[in-house]
Amino acid sequence: MSEKLIVINAGSSSLKFNVYQIPDAETVDVNDLSYLYGGQVSGIGTDIAHFKVKGALGQILEDRSTSFDETKDLQAAQELLANWLTFRMDKPAIAVGHRIVHGGSDMDDSAVIDDQLLTYLDDLAPLAPLHQHNNLAPVRVIRKHWPQILQIACVDTAFHCHQDPLYNHYALPLRYYDQGVRRYGFHGLSYQYISDYLEQHLPELHQGRVIVAHLGSGSSACMIQNGKSVVSTMGFTALDGLPMSTRPGRLDAGVVLWWMQQRQKNADEIQDLLYNQSGMKGLSGISGDMRTLLASEDPNAKLAVDYYCFRTAESLAGLCVPTQGMDGIVFTAGVGEHSPEIRARICQHLEWLGVKLDPELNAQSAQKISTEDSAVSVWVIPTNEELVIAREALQHYCASKAKGASES
């Protein structure tokens, strides 16, 4: 009977999951994973919450609105998902991989979660207040009900941890760097997937200087060379860098001082402003959803889109400084994969660098969307963070199994 492995990504208002099957064999590797089904509970804590699950072939396995009690908070949503999985699966999973946003300065790889690691990750919550506690909540539930299941933390910051110190310092007294105040970078699981994909399918590009633009509700970009992170736009927290759906991106720290001194705002109010009320939502006054903004005729919606494209292009150009140029751009994540207009407008700002898009290919969201004579190749590659997590979890499971066998 084949074993199963679960990947969980718990966000601020959603709970995503994927289930993979591992063949019944003595030895397995990461390429033996077969996707079975996955879905999410969305709108947690609202009266429009929804539970949807699709199979590997796109067939609908569950698609319904939930009652408020079923999804009133993350804990309730976890119980809903646990009950559904218990009914669906013939036995518990062998391992569960979790996306954890912040790994701090001590985590450069995925790791099995024990008491010490759980405490360490929990202490990092102030650096990712919208994500970290929610990422860890399912870990605690599983430990309580199924303590025998191996759980693995896959952190978004690990991909960037070997950057040159020149690129991860701030111009602050060095004692703060030693205390952990540094540029960490995020979306590392997405970047790892794209790097692995390029190595397998586009090896020439993989060896070159590639900017990956992960554009979604949270956005960042990273210069990758020979599969390694060189420099990225996000920093100490997930607030820095590119403008996002509800976060401002790069911001003069003096604005925060002004809020405190001139408007007497406290830390909680400022945190809410920066994480929930800013970005495209704040600038447009309409929505943080790019589709809504592109469809709107409101001048503030136009301003928000123009700002997003300009600042993103400006940051992409800046990422070229350490490598003295770029060979390719990869667009990925929700906006990057699905919005030809945003891709075109960002690239329009970069034409001076020799970037040329083929309008037809871009409109089709083809894999390669640049012209043949473009000095920089431009690509659209869907990301798959969950597969990266599943592979990491399987590796840890196999290592644990091998260790157990050698000790017996």
Q: Are residues 221 and 108 in the same domain?
A: no
Angle between helices 132-145 and 74-88 (to 10 degrees): 50
* pLDDT tens-place string over residues 9-27: 887 678 899 999 987 655 6
What does the pLDDT look like over 225-243, one tens digit per residue? 999 999 999 999 999 999 9
**Cα separation, 341 vs 354, whole angstroms:** 19
1 has a pLDDT exceeding 60:
no
B/e letters for 290-310, b = 16+ CB within 10 Å, e = fewer, are beebeebeeeebeebbebbbe
Give whichever of 9-18, 84-93, 201-210 has the largest mean pLDDT: 201-210
Q: Tell me, what's the pLDDT at 392?
A: 94
Beta strands 377-380; 328-332: pairing state: parallel
Number of structural domains the chain divides into: 2
Q: Are residues 116 and 238 in the same domain?
A: no
Q: Which of 127, 138, 118, 128 is nearest to 73 (CA)?
A: 138
On whether residue 198 sits in a domain, the answer given is: no
343 with 331: CB under 8 angstroms? yes
User: Burial, 140: exposed, middle or buried (Cβ in 10 Å; 0-12, 13-18, 19+)?
Assistant: middle
The answer on pLDDT for 402 being more than 60 is yes
Tokens coding 24: 């019944």
Same domain as 272, residue 208: yes
Residues 209 and 142 in one domain: no
Among 87-91, 151-155, 197-201, name the one with the lowest average pLDDT.
Answer: 87-91
How far is Cα of residue 350 from the mean position of the Cα atoms in its chain? 25
Q: Does residue 86 fall inside a structural domain?
A: yes
Residues 209 and 136 in one domain: no
Minimal CA–CA distance to 221: which of 306, 154, 291, 160? 160
Residue 241: which domain range? 203-380
Cα 51 to its chain centre, rounded Å, is: 21
CA dist 14 → 34, 130, 369 (Å): 24, 12, 32
CATH number of the domain that residue 374 is part of: 3.30.420.40
The reply to whether 29 and 106 lie within a common domain is: yes
pTM of the predicted protein model: 0.92
The answer to whether residue 172 sits within a structural domain is: no
What CA–CA distance (Å, rounded) separates 183 from 173?
14
Residues carrying an active site annotation = 156
273 closest CA partner among 130, 134, 170: 130
